């Protein structure tokens, strides 16, 4: 027995899609013209009122930072990082978004996928252009602030350049979303791109030649040229190049918009649905884990390590095996810890910079401490290790992160010393920065210990007693341990001139944190 299924003409599929859309519009009618005008009017009114109020402050604040020289020195690197972020958006979600039900009922129907995806992609491309134009607006406010003013042609050129970069970013995100090959490439390019951005920033600050290299290094440089002090002809050439690149990328994106496998849409739809549920219960960590399942890659399975003879080393052994299987996390954690230490030592006389630097080290520690989070968030996976008391387990989990981040901090400090870049009281500051790193790991452990979900008591308090509607209390809860870490870590470096006090502070803080983490 068999069955004959006649092939359907493409026009019939398009008609079917048009009928489905018409039916959908009846079920979910779009806003009427009057409603849209009303929304536009309200938006314009609110922008005018608050814009006028905020403009003066924003303009003078931005004017202190955003200058044509700053734009030329930092703009290409920032634009490159923005493109990198957009590509990562493609790894975890992307511009063409379907719900799980869409995947089942629309992508599962004999409807043209190109037609289903194209409209979403066009909207996203328009959104990218709008986001770029808004970013340009902010930069223009800064450039024109402080009584400097800005030529209309330069402003228009920058707006066009950044809008085109927005389109380019969305087109790139779609390539990443729809193709496994592009997704892998985007993930592998993360650190090289960050290093390239740092290199561009350094080159642009080094002199005119470096600045020219940064401005011509790619679309990220072409887009900022009109307001970065480049000549009119040069800016025009750069914009033409960018327009060409954007047109090619947008055309390729639109042409390929029917070819993404349903599995890629389904994985993203399921992850988004889980993340939304997690966020509804203020569980940011579960939301992040849900989204991470989309871009998850298999770790190295070949990593082997001889089992320890003593049970006390079981958890550090398990964490070391995990680190060997996912070396990216460890490298990132170590890189952040090293970079933070370098920044803290180079800017040791500026308290704000030291606070920021210590936060960077804290982020590195938080990156390396994920087995501890897994212990708390995924007890089913880690139950075997929960036989000892919880406090001991958590403390043992801090061992590998402490070794990794402290080693990275020590290497970074040694590098600074070798380069002769240590400040006054430099040796003491370097030793204190390294000695303070375990504190930051313990703070990251304490933060992880709270688990990802906001406690119901806090939610109740936030809803009842917080005049901001809960926002400030919840933000304070989230920022608590990073703030503690920044304070505990920055104080000894800033007190390097009084080493006895600084050492006492470090020892006391570390002992208190150990006791807190080790409690059951």
In the complex, which residues of this chain contact another protein (CB under 8 A)?
1-5, 7-8, 10, 12-13, 16, 19-20, 23-24, 27-28, 99-101, 103-106, 108-114, 258-259, 261-263, 266, 298, 301
CB of 24 to another protein, least distance (A): 8
Residue nearer to another protein on the CB measure, 63 or 104: 104
Query: Residue 7 gets which letter from DSSP?
Result: P
270 vs 466 by CB, closer to another protein: 270
Please state, as a whole number, how many other Cβ atoms lie within 10 Å of the Cβ of residue 399: 17
Query: Which residues are CB-contacts of 205 (< 8 A; sequence separation ≥ 6)?
Result: 73
Closest Cα partner for 412 from 345, 359, 352?
345
Q: Which is nearer to another protein, 38 or 180 (CB)?
A: 180
CB of 9 to another protein, least distance (A): 10
What residues form DSSP beta bridges with 386? Answer: none
In angstroms, the CA 62 to CA 223 distance is 20
Q: 36 Cβ partners below 8 Å, 6+ apart? A: none
Residue closer to another protein, measured from CB, 148 or 259: 259
Which phi-psi region, left, alpha or beta, contains residue 507 (left: φ > 0; alpha: ψ -120 to 50)? alpha
Closest approach of another protein to the CB of residue 23, in Å: 5
CA distances in angstroms from 300 to 41, 218, 258, 297, listed in the order given? 56, 34, 33, 9
Tokens of 303: 């990593």
CB < 8 Å & 24+ apart, contacts of 131-135? 131/166, 132/159, 132/162, 132/163, 132/164, 132/165, 132/166, 132/167, 132/169, 133/159, 133/162, 133/163, 133/166, 135/82, 135/162, 135/166
DSSP characters over 436-503: HHHHHHHHHHHHHHT-SBPPHHHHHHHHHH-TTTTHHHHHHHHHHHHHHHHHHHHHHHHTTTSHHHHH
Give the shortest CB-102-to-another protein separation in angstroms: 8
**Which one, 270 or 332, has the nearer CB to another protein?**
270
* Smallest gap from residue 12 Cβ to another protein (A): 7
Q: How far is the CB of 22 from another protein (least distance, A)?
A: 9
Q: How far is the CB of 422 from another protein (least distance, A)?
A: 46
Nearest-approach distance from CB 322 to another protein, in angstroms: 16
**CA–CA dist 24, 28 (Å, integer):** 6
CA proximity to 438, closest of 405, 471, 466, 468: 405
Closer by beta carbon to another protein, 289 or else 425: 289
Judged by beta carbon, residue 61 or residue 322, the one nearer another protein is 322
Calculate the alpha carbon distances from 504 to 435, 499, 510, 514 in Å. 11, 8, 10, 15
**Residue 298 or 520 having the CB closest to another protein:** 298
Are 132 and 166 in contact, with CB atoms under 8 Å apart? yes
Question: In the complex, what is the shortest distance from the CB of residue 262 to another protein, in angstroms, rounded to a whole number?
Answer: 5
Across-strand partners of 283?
453
Which CB atom, from 114 or from 211, has the smaller least distance to another protein? 114
Cα four-point dihedral sign 184, 258, 82, 283? negative
Residue with Cβ nearer another protein (207 or 261):
261
Nearer of residues 53 and 296 to another protein, judged by Cβ: 296
| CB of 109 vs another protein, minimal distance in Å | 4
**Sign of the alpha-carbon dihedral angle for 293, 298, 301, 306:** negative
Task: State the nearest-atom distance from the C-beta of 296 to another protein, in Å.
Answer: 9
């Amino acid at each position: 027995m068999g069955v004959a299924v006649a092939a359907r003409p493409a026009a019939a599929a398009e008609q079917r899609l048009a009928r489905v859309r018409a039916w959908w519009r009846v079920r979910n009618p779009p806003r009427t013209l009057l409603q849209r005008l009303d929304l536009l009017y309200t938006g314009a009114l609110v922008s005018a009122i608050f814009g006028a109020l905020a403009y003066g402050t924003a303009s003078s604040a931005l004017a202190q930072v955003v200058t044509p020289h700053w734009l030329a020195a930092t703009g290409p690197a920032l634009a490159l990082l923005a493109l990198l972020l957009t590509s990562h958006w493609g790894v975890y979600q992307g511009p063409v978004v379907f719900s799980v039900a869409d995947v089942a009922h629309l992508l599962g129907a004999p409807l043209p996928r190109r037609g289903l995806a194209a409209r979403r992609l066009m909207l996203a491309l328009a959104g990218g252009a709008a986001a770029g134009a808004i970013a340009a607006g902010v930069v223009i406010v800064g450039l024109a602030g402080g009584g400097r003013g800005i030529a209309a042609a330069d402003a228009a050129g920058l707006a066009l350049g950044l809008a085109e970069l927005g389109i380019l970013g969305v087109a790139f995100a779609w390539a990443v979303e729809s193709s496994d090959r592009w997704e892998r490439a985007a993930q592998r390019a993360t650190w090289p791109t960050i290093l390239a951005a740092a290199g561009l920033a350094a080159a642009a600050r080094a002199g005119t030649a470096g600045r020219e290299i940064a401005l011509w290094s790619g679309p990220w440089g072409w887009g900022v040229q009109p307001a970065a002090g480049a000549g009119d002809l040069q800016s025009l050439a750069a914009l033409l190049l960018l327009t060409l690149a954007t047109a090619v990328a947008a055309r390729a994106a639109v042409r390929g918009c029917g070819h993404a496998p349903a599995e890629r849409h389904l994985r993203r739809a399921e992850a988004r649905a889980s993340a939304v549920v997690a966020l509804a219960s203020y569980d940011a960590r579960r939301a992040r884990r849900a989204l991470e399942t989309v871009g998850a890659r298999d770790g190295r399975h070949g990593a082997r390590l001889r089992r320890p003879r003593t049970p006390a080393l079981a958890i550090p052994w398990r964490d070391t095996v995990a680190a060997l299987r996912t070396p990216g996390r460890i490298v990132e954690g170590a890189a952040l810890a090293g970079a933070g230490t370098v920044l803290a030592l180079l800017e040791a006389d500026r308290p704000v910079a030291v606070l920021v630097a210590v936060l960077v080290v804290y982020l590195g520690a938080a990156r390396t401490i994920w087995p501890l989070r897994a212990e708390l968030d995924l007890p089913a996976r880690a139950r075997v290790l929960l036989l000892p008391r919880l406090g001991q387990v958590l403390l043992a989990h801090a061992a590998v992160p402490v070794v990794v981040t402290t080693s990275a901090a020590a290497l970074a400090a040694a590098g600074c010393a070798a380069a002769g870049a240590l400040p006054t009281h430099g040796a003491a500051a370097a030793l204190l920065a390294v000695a303070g790193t375990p504190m930051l790991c313990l703070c990251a452990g304490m933060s992880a210990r709270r688990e990802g979900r906001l406690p119901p008591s806090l939610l109740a308090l936030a809803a009842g007693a917080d005049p901001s509607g809960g926002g400030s209390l919840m933000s304070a809860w989230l920022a608590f341990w990073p703030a503690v870490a920044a304070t505990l870590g920055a104080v000894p470096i800033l007190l390097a001139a009084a080493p006895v006090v600084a050492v006492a502070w470090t020892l006391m803080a570390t002992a208190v944190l150990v006791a807190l983490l080790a409690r059951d």
